[in-house]
Amino acid sequence: MKWLAAGALLVLAGAAGCGSQYRPVINPVVPTGPASQPTSYTLVFSQPGLVPPSDPSLPPSHPPCPGLANGVFQSYANPGVVTLVSFSGDSVMALAQIGNGPLGFAVDPSGSLAYSENCDGTISSVPISTSLQTNKVGSSTLLAGAVPINMLVATGTQYVVEQGRDAIAAMSGSPPALKQEIPVAPSVINVAGSPISQRVYSISQGSTGSSSVAWGNCANPSGVTAAGEADTIEIATNTISARLPLGVCPVFGVMSADSKRTFVMNRGSGTITVINSQLNTLDTALNATGTINLCGGTTPCNAGPVYAELYTPGNLLVTANHDNNTISVIDVSLDVYGNDSATFGKVLATVPVGSNPAMLTVLQDGSRAYTANQGDGTVTVVNLTNFTAQKTISLGSGTPNPRTIVSTYNYPTGKVYVSSQNSPNVVIIRTDTDTVSATLTVQGNVVDVRTTNQYAGSTTQGGNNITVSRSAGSGVP
């Protein structure tokens, strides 16, 4: 019997080695955990160590530039600093030095490269990466006497406003190299366009005095009567194809994402000039002068628009009216043929906010707008559904006279970043509670802040923070 038992064991052993034997499959259990945070960064450009123009250490050729505080002219001897801040942790990821005296900056439509316009006549090219270091920052030099106050990136070309030369520098490459200098009307202040536009618009304040101090005149526009001018620059040829009249003291322009309309803020007139960018003419379908009067009627008022953002899905243009403490919400809808709709240009609401709103940001879900109120150090939260101010947020004494405000939104929450040119602080507001969640301190006074993406959950860049910049010379005191 023993041999029978041994044989049975051999049979079982053979069966165990058979390929038809069931073998359980073990799948590893991967913990779900919290969702990954969106890839979005905030860039803060700042200037340590302001130096008066009379400082003997400055080289004789060092040009004076608009200062960072209350429109006082300063010169700069120290390099500026760019600080990269993460969306998720509100922490500093990297920083690097840039040119002396950054005056403003723009972000490439891809969100991968930022450009700083510097008082020393250079453009700094900053790769947006957590591995950012000073040795990775590129530098380009402009022609002598150029004061590059802001910049636009459109269709592969960088257009730089050279206030000291009354010209627009067309640049390309990485770092950008000067291709051509385009003379424009006196006292050039801004350039408007979109990443896909075939043409951009150079915005000049006209003969309001020396180009180096013209922005100072429009900081108090009550005594200015000269009309501004928009010069059309064709991107294909970098030539001017039209010269269009603007209102008094134009200070900022924004083009729609589809490039069909351009809106120019005329601070001195209290109006918005609308350009039909398809036809390259004033939008006379709106009215004979192609303007929107922010106070209604035909008589200019003291609204003082200085900044605007477009909320494309809702066909809304929202303006910050510095001089009458309001924002305006305007219908800018077009019909299916690209013509003005029946309600185009209608002011849907005028909402009181804090004192002297200098800038605003619209959340990319279209629910709210946030204003940086330069006069009283607050932020007003405006509901864009019922057009009412729903909350006022105090920034405290550490961030006086806020001038810059930008946002990144990612459902169900987002963040708003506010800064002052008199302070090294960046105040961060959570949009789910509309409360201050953190304050970051950088090296030197903040010049400007931008986010790489206004909708952090998207894989593409968008919003008015991309490609466009403005400087201390854009008409805000």
Altogether, the residues listed in the chain come to a count of 477
**What is the pTM assigned to this prediction?**
0.86
**50 has a pLDDT exceeding 70:** no
How does strand 65-66 pair with strand 177-183?
A: unpaired
For residue range 230-255, what is the model confidence (pLDDT) as tens digits? 999 999 999 999 999 999 999 999 99
Instruction: Note whether 137 and 175 are within 8 A (CB).
Output: no
Gap between the Cα atoms of 290 and 263, Å rounded: 10
- Cβ-based burial of 184 (10 A; exposed 0-12, middle 13-18, buried ≥19): buried
Give residue-wise pLDDT tens across range 255-284. Answer: 999 999 999 999 999 999 999 999 999 999
pLDDT above 50 for 110? yes
For 46, the 3-state DSSP assignment is strand
Least confident of 75-89, 208-222, 374-388: 208-222
What proportion of the chain, given as a percentage, has pLDDT over 70? 78
Torsion of the alpha carbons at 408, 193, 125 and 164, rounded to the nearest 10:
-120
**DSSP 8-state secondary structure symbol assigned to residue 468:** B
More confident residue, 220 or 7: 220
Q: Which of 14-28, 281-295, 346-360, 387-401 has the lowest mean pLDDT?
A: 14-28
Answer left, alpha or beta for residue 25, where phi above 0 means left and psi between -120 and 50 means alpha: beta
Q: What is the mean pLDDT of the chain?
A: 83
pLDDT at residue 22, rounded to an integer: 58
Residue 460 confidence (pLDDT) above 70: no
Single-letter residue type at 459: T
**Phi, psi for residue 473 in degrees, rounded to 5:** -95, 15
Of 76-85, 197-206, 298-307, 412-421, the range with the lowest mean pLDDT is: 298-307
Q: Which residues pair with 107 in a beta bridge?
A: 114
What pLDDT score does 83 carry? 96
Give residue-wise pLDDT tens across range 328-371.
999 999 999 999 999 999 999 999 999 999 999 999 889 999 99
DSSP codes of every residue in 313-370: GGTEEEEEETTTTEEEEEE--B-TTSSB-TTTT-EEEEEE-SSSEEEEEE-TTSSEEE
**410: pLDDT confidence band, cut at 50, 70 and 90?**
confident
C-alpha–C-alpha distance, residues 389 and 404, integer Å: 19
8 A C-beta contact, residue 192 and residue 254: yes
End-to-end CA distance of the chain: 108
Residue of higher predicted confidence among 50 and 251: 251
Instruction: Provide the pLDDT confidence category of residue 30 given band limits of 50, 70 and 90.
Output: low
Q: Which residue has the higher pLDDT, 47 or 264?
A: 264
Could you confirm whether domain 37-451 is CATH 2.60.40.10? no
Place of tokens 């003969």: 207
b/e code 45-68 from CB counts within 10 Å (16+ = b): bbbeebbeeeeeebeeebbbbbbb
* pLDDT of res. 40: 78
What does the pLDDT average to over 133-155?
91
Half-sphere exposure of 223 (CA within 13 A, CB side): 8
The residue ranking higher by pLDDT, 439 or 111, is: 439
Between CA 138 and CA 146 the distance in angstroms is: 18
Residue ranges per structural domain of the chain: 37-451
